[in-house]
Amino acid sequence: MWKDKLDKDLIVIDPDVSSKKELFSGMVDHVYQYDYLTNKKKFLNALTKREKISNTELIESVAIPHARSDYVDKLFLCIIIMKDGVDYGNSDFGKVNIVFFFGCPEAQNKQYLQLLAKSSRLLKNPDFRQDLIACETVEQVVEILVKHDEEEDSDEKNDHHLLMLTLHNNENVADAMEAMVEVGITNASLVESQSMVRKMAYEMPVFAGLSYMAHGKSASSALIFAHIERKIQAEQLFKILKEYKIDLSQKGMGFIQVIKLETVLGEYEEDLEI
């Protein structure tokens, strides 16, 4: 994924900034210099407006500012590494040392969401963050990113399939949906559900008191339906879920099913604005 989107010119180490305002202005100026923006003032306004909705320092020492705008010529990722960090206005986390800054035109929304989800997953890993902060050169940053890239080796043609992901713990839903976005799934529907075993354990007198209750497990599950065009997306999802500590090969976690569809009527993609 990085291979097609990574531009070495958009990797900056220790820029001369001392505030969040200077950081945003400097980032936009830098990206504009390399012809990714058609109007830097209007894009900066869009970026600032998005930041006012919610602070984008969502991970300790990491900020992921981003905006979709008609003034972005093509999807970009600008990476800034700051050893000393800057105050980003989030008292819960303190200074920001790593910035993954995204810009996206309307036409590339799906690729943008995939890149955003992948970045978020990796940046939650403390070792990955420490490796980036320790970088002294642009080449070292690229090496780390490439190491965490995954080549998709498949000649599979696009087709219509129904993916069904069953999760036996509702607390895993948010992580699972982020993983789905990373593999290119943005059209999912979520249904709250309950497995047969849990129904028996909690509600049927004959079986009441089974191990689910004894071990304090939730009575509810989740079922996520999604249209996919390639079966390999299900395999990629299975693998990425493990990194979220959702190992579907373990009993009681859940499972994935994929069914070939003969006919699909209507538009299955749903536009997601972030």
pLDDT bracket for residue 214 (50, 70, 90)? very low
User: What is the C-alpha separation between 3 and 14, in angstroms, rounded?
Assistant: 24
Domain positions in the chain = 2-147, 161-260
Q: What is the pLDDT of residues 122-150, one digit of tens each?
A: 999 999 999 999 999 999 999 999 887 76
- In degrees, rounded to 5, the angle at the alpha carbon of residue 155 between the alpha carbons of residues 149 and 158 is 100
Q: Which of 135-149, 188-202, 205-219 has the highest mean pLDDT?
A: 135-149
Q: How confident is the model at residue 242 (pLDDT cuts 50, 70, 90)?
A: very high
Q: Across the chain, where does the E strand assignment appear?
A: 11-13, 62-63, 66-68, 76-86, 96-104, 161-167, 189-193, 221-228, 254-260
On whether the CB atoms of residues 50 and 116 are closer than 8 A, the answer is no
The residue to which tokens 């009575």 are assigned: 219
What pLDDT score does 146 carry? 86
Q: Compute how many other C-beta atoms are within 10 angstroms of the C-beta atom of residue 181.
A: 21
Strands (E) across 20-133 are located at 62-63, 66-68, 76-86, 96-104
Does domain 161-260 fall under CATH 3.30.70.120? My reply is yes
Topology adopted by domain 2-147: Mannitol-specific EII; Chain A (3.40.930)
Q: Is pLDDT of 96 > 50? A: yes
Question: Cα dist. 230→113, 156, 163, 166, 260 in Å?
Answer: 18, 7, 10, 19, 10
Q: Which amino acid is at 241?
A: L
How does pLDDT run across 2-46, given as a tens digit for each residue?
A: 666 789 999 999 999 999 999 999 999 999 999 999 999 999 999
| DSSP alpha helix (H) spans, the chain | 2-5, 20-33, 40-53, 109-123, 126-133, 138-147, 173-182, 196-203, 211-214, 232-243
Predicted pLDDT at 69: 87
DSSP 208: T
Residue linked to tokens 């940053």: 141
How far apart (Å, rounded) are the C-alpha atoms in residues 135 and 142? Answer: 10
Is the pLDDT confidence value at 211 over 80?
Answer: no
pTM: 0.79
